[in-house]
Chain A
Amino acid sequence: MKSFFSALLQSRAGLFGFVLVTVFVLAAILAPFLGLPSPTRSDLLARMAPPTWTGLFSPGAHPLGTDELGRDILSRIVYGSRVTLIVACSAVVLGGVVGVLLGIIAGYYRGIVDRVLMRIVDIQLALPLMLLALLVVAALGPSTRNLIIVLALTSWLRYARIIRGQVLALREREFILSAHAIGAGTWRIMLRHLLPNVLTPALVIATLELARIIIMDAALSFLGLGIQPPNPSWGRMLSDGRVYISTAWWIVTFPGIAILLTVLSVNLLGDWLRDYFDPKLRTSR
C-alpha cells in the first residue's frame, strides 16, 4: 500500500486523476452538507440568471447561474453527480462481476462452453453499443434500474474477453495443476485460485470502463432514455438547456465541463493503474 502511494506521487497525471476523483466522490457523498440550494427548487424570479462572476445582473447568488426554471446549476451538477456515480458504479460492478465470472468459466472449461460464450460476445459486438443500449432501454422502459442493466450489458464482454485470455494462460501454471492434484473441486479452483489472480486486470478494466460508462450514461440521458426528471442528470441538463443556447450559454456549458472533468480524471487514474499493475494490458484495449 505504501509503495502504491509513493508510486502515485511520482506520476503527475496519475496523481491529478486520483485527487480529482477523490474530490468528486467526496462532493457527491457530502452534497447535502455543502450548503447548496435545493437542486429541484425553482425560483421563477431568477430564471436563467447568469453566473455571478460574469458581472451581469443576476438575482440571487448563483455561482454558475440558473436554468430555465430558475434552479441553481451548481447544485444540480453536484446532485447530478450523485446519480451518475450510483448508476455508473453499479453498472461497472454488475458488468464486472458477470464478465469476470464468464471469462473465468470460458477460460477454464475451454471447449464448447468457451466457443459458445465467445460467439455470443462476437454477436453482441456486431451491434454498435449505443444502438444496443437504445433498443434495450426502449424495450424495458427508461428507469434508473434499467439504465444500470443496459450499461452493464454493454460492458461485460470487455472483461470476459480479457479475463478469458488470462485464465487460458493461468490454468497451465503449476499452482493450478497442483490444486488439481490434491483434488480441489472446479469451483474451488475457479474462485480460490483463479479469481484472485485476475482481480488486478479486472480492476484496471473497471476504471477504464467507468469513464466510458459515464459518457454513455450522459448520452442516454441526453436522448431522454436515461434518468428521468425531476432527478437532475448531466445529460438531461444538456438536452434541456440546448433550447436556450442563444440566450443562456451557461446552462449547456457547465454540465458538459462536469462530464469532461470527471471522465478525464477517471481516465488518467485508469491509465496510471494500468501502467502500474500491468503494462502488458495496454495492447489488449
Chain B
Amino acid sequence: MARYLLSKLFEAALAIWGVVTIVFFVSRVLGDPTVLLLPMGASQQDIDTLRAALGLDRPILEQYGIALLSMLRGDFGISFQHTRPALDVVLERMPATGMLAGTALFFGTLIGAVAGAIAALRRGTISEFVVMTAALLGQATPVFWLGIMLILFFSVQLGWLPTGGSGSLAHLILPGLTLSVFVSASIARLLRSSLLDIMREDYVRTARAKGLMPRTVFFWHIARNALIPVVTMIGIIAGELLGGSVVIETVFAWPGVGRVIMQAIQAQDFPVIQAGVALVAVIFVVTNLLVDLLYGVLDPRIRQR
C-alpha cells in the first residue's frame, strides 16, 4: 500500500509540473503583456523599462525557472486587470464553483445511481427503456443549450427563477439542475452496463447458489465490484466540475473559476491564467489521487500490491 501510495503521489506531482510548464510556455505565446499594460504610443524606452521590470527581457529558460520557483511558493504574480495577487483572484471564486459542483455531483450521482440500478435490475422492462432513452438524450444534449432552454422555460416563460447571477438558493437551481442532468446521464449508463457485466460473473452465481439473501448478493458481491468504474467516472467528473464548467458559468453568469479563467484568457491576463490553470490542475490531480486510494478500499487486490 505504501509503495502504491508513493508512486501515485509521484505521478501526481509530475502531472502538475507538466501542466504548469505547458501553461507557462503557452501563455508566453499568447501575446506581449506590455502592449496591454502601456497606453498606445508609449515610447520604446517605456516598453523596455516595463519589460525589464516584469523580467520579460531575460532568456526564456531563466524566466521559466524563476516562474517555477515562485509558483511553488504560491506566488503567481499580480493580475494585470485587478492589480491584486493572481492567486487571490482565482481562489475567491472557488466557493461559487465548489457550491455548483457539489450540488451537481450530489444530485447527479444520486439520480444516476438509482436510475442505472433500476435499468440493470429490471432488464427488458419499460423502466429500463425509459431510463436508457432519457440517459441517451441527456448525454447527447449540449449542456449549454439545456441551460438556455431551462432559462427559456423557468425564467422567461414562467418567471419563477432568475436568468443568471448568484447570491441566493434560487440562483443555484437552474445551473445545478443543468449539470446534474449531464452527470446523472453518464453515471446511469455506466452503472447499468457495469452491473450487467458483474451479474454474469461466476462468483455471483456461486453466491446465489450458497443461498445468500438476494440483497446480500447485490450489495456485497455485485454493487461493490460494479462501483469501481463508476468511481473513476465520478472522479473525472468531479475534477472537471471543480475546475469550473466554463460554458455553464458563462450561460448563467455564475461567478466561478471557469468564468474568471475565460475572462483572463480574453484579456490576456497571464498571471490569472497561470494561477487558474494551476489550481484546476491541482484539484483535478488530487481528485484522481483520492479515486486511486478509494480503489484500494474497493479492490483488495490493489491494496496488496
Contact = CB atoms under 8 A, between A and B. Distances in A.
B247 A130 contact: yes
B277 A215 contact: no
B152 A123 contact: no
Interface stretch (B23-31, B55-63, B297-305): B23-31
Interface stretch (B14-22, B39-47, B84-92): B14-22
A127 B14 CA distance: 13
Interface string B57-95: 000000000000000000000000000000000000000
Interface residues on A, range: 35 or more
B16 A126 contact: yes
Contact of A127 (B19, B29, B265): B19
Interface stretch (A30-38, A58-66, A252-260): A252-260
B145 A259 contact: yes
B145 A238 contact: yes
Contacts of B146: 256
Interface string A238-260: 10001001100100110110011
A264 B137 contact: yes
A126 B281 contact: yes
B284 A127 contact: yes
Nearest to B139: A267
A222 interface: yes
Interface in A119-137: 119-120, 122-128, 130-131, 134-136
B156 interface: yes
Nearest to B190: A285
A256 B148 contact: yes
A126 B140 contact: no
A283 interface: yes
A138 interface: yes
A261 B137 CA distance: 9
Chain B contact residues: helix, strand, loop or mixed: helix
A215 B186 CA distance: 15
Contact of A264 (B15, B22, B140, B145): B140
Contacts of A135: 23, 26-27, 265, 273, 277
A223 B262 contact: yes
B35 interface: no
B34 interface: no
Interface in A202-248: 211, 215, 218-219, 222-223, 238, 242, 245-246
A134 B149 CA distance: 24
B149 A260 contact: no
A282 interface: yes
Contacts of A263: 139-142
A139 interface: yes
B207 interface: no
Contacts of B26: 135-136, 139
Interface in B236-251: 239-240, 243, 245-247, 250-251
A268 B140 CA distance: 10
B136 interface: yes
Given A245-B156, A255-B145, 11 more contacts: A127-B280, A128-B280, A135-B277, A138-B265, A139-B27, A245-B151, A252-B145, A252-B152, A256-B148, A264-B136, A283-B197
10 contacts: A126-B284, A130-B240, A130-B245, A130-B246, A131-B246, A135-B23, A135-B273, A138-B30, A242-B148, A252-B149
